Amino acid sequence: MLRELIDKFYLDRQKDKEQAHFYITDAGRCGRAVFFKFKNAPRREIEPNVLRLFDHGDYIHQLIMKPLLSIREIHVVASEIKIPPQELVSGRADAIISDGKDLYVLDIKSMNSMIFRNLTEAKEENINQVQLYLHYFKIPRGILLYVNKDNQELKEFVVNYDKKRVLLLLDGLSKLKNKIEKNIIPDRLADYPDNWQCQYCQFKAICALANGGKLKWEDFKKKTESQPR
Ligand code: SF4
């Protein structure tokens, strides 16, 4: 009884999640998948246990913040802080910290042992996210702190502000915004279906249905109506 009710709680939370603006995590991601999110296209449901794992990530953040709030060498300037409001994108950094000399944007990521073990550098998609935080907070340096969910081991990587990368990311989002407004479905990723994003993509089925190349959403939408929601 409880299992079904708890699963339903999580499944209901992800229903009809039409997106109306970009999140920082969309920067550098597959434009087609982001487009489909905006259009609330039919998607594969995420299993309740995976949704619970997302919630578990929040507890890991609290676990990391606890010592940071007590350590004398570190001052937590702000936590769960939203980027300044602007038209394009919204996002919330885990924290801004200071070592008494410099400010850093802190972003905490958790992962399983297998991924953690092989992590020798910060992940590209996480660097993209931190770069935008650095840009909007006007802070030159950030820290990506990775937590192994299975044994609580830590790895950290410093990220320096890279203006060129930020401008590319913002340009990508502006172009994608234009396609969303004009109802033009973006092309697939160049390395579809081998890209890691395709592996986890909730829109894999309709992406296959759409084939490669750009196409009009209105024409394609009718085809998707026969797909399970
Ligand atoms: S399957 Fe791959 S290319 Fe297609 S929408 Fe998903 S991430 Fe993008």
- Confirm or reject: Cβ of 34 under 6 Å from ligand 1: no
DSSP letter for each residue of 139-198: -SEEEEEEEETTT--EEEEEEE--HHHHHHHHHHHHHHHHHHHHTEEPPPPTTTTTSHHH
Q: What mean pLDDT do residues 151-158 have?
A: 96
Write down the pLDDT at residue 193: 94
Please indicate, yes or no, if residue 64 is contained in any of the structural domains. Answer: yes
**pLDDT of 214 strictly over 90:** no
Question: Is this prediction's pTM over 0.75?
Answer: yes
- Confirm or reject: Cβ of 137 under 6 Å from ligand 1: no
Stated length of the chain: 229
Q: Are 23 and 93 in contact (CB under 8 A)?
A: no
pLDDT digits 0-9 by tens, 99-134: 999 999 999 999 999 999 999 999 999 999 999 999
Q: Are 91 and 26 in contact (CB under 8 A)?
A: no
Q: Which domain holds residue 66?
A: 2-224
Write down the pLDDT at residue 142: 98
**pLDDT of 16 strictly over 60:** no
Q: How close is the Cα of 31 to the center of ligand 1, in Å? A: 8
Write down the pLDDT at residue 2: 83
Q: How close is the Cα of 201 to the center of ligand 1, in Å? A: 6
Please indicate, yes or no, if residue 190 is contained in any of the structural domains. Answer: yes
Write down the pLDDT at residue 5: 86
Helix 31-38 to helix 163-182 angle, to the nearest 10 degrees? 50
CATH number for the domain harbouring residue 151: 3.90.320.10
Q: How close is the Cα of 188 to the center of ligand 1, in Å? A: 6
Please indicate, yes or no, if residue 198 is contained in any of the structural domains. Answer: yes
Please indicate, yes or no, if residue 139 is contained in any of the structural domains. Answer: yes
Write down the pLDDT at residue 207: 94
Q: What is the mean pLDDT of the chain?
A: 91
Paired tokens of 164: 């060129």
Write down the pLDDT at residue 20: 80
**pLDDT of 13 strictly over 80:** no
Task: Give the C-alpha separation, 94 to 60, whole Å.
Answer: 11
**Ligand 1 atom 3 nearest Cα:** 188
- Confirm or reject: Cβ of 227 under 6 Å from ligand 1: no
Write down the pLDDT at residue 224: 76
215 vs 169, higher pLDDT: 169
- Confirm or reject: Cβ of 207 under 6 Å from ligand 1: yes
Residue 14 pLDDT level (bands cut at 50, 70, 90)? confident
* 150-154, 166-170, 203-207, 223-227: least confident range: 223-227
Please indicate, yes or no, if residue 229 is contained in any of the structural domains. Answer: no
Chain-centre distance for alpha carbon 92: 11
pLDDT digits 0-9 by tens, 28-82: 999 999 999 999 898 888 888 887 887 787 888 889 999 999 999 999 999 999 9
**pLDDT of 227 strictly over 90:** no
Q: Please give the number of the atom of ligand 1 that sits closest to the Cα of 188.
A: 3
Q: Where in the chain does DSSP place strands (E)?
A: 22-23, 75-82, 89-90, 92-98, 103-111, 141-148, 154-160, 184-185, 215-216
Q: Please give the number of the atom of ligand 1 that sits closest to the Cα of 201.
A: 6
**pLDDT of 18 strictly over 70:** no
Q: What mean pLDDT do residues 176-191 have?
A: 95
Please indicate, yes or no, if residue 71 is contained in any of the structural domains. Answer: yes
Closest CA to 183 of 225, 218, 208: 218
Q: How close is the Cα of 198 to the center of ligand 1, in Å? A: 5
- Confirm or reject: Cβ of 145 under 6 Å from ligand 1: no
Task: Give the C-alpha separation, 158 to 143, whole Å.
Answer: 5
Q: Please give the number of the atom of ligand 1 that sits closest to the Cα of 189.
A: 3
Q: How close is the Cα of 2 to the center of ligand 1, in Å? A: 35
Domain count, the chain: 1
Q: How close is the Cα of 163 to the center of ligand 1, in Å? A: 27
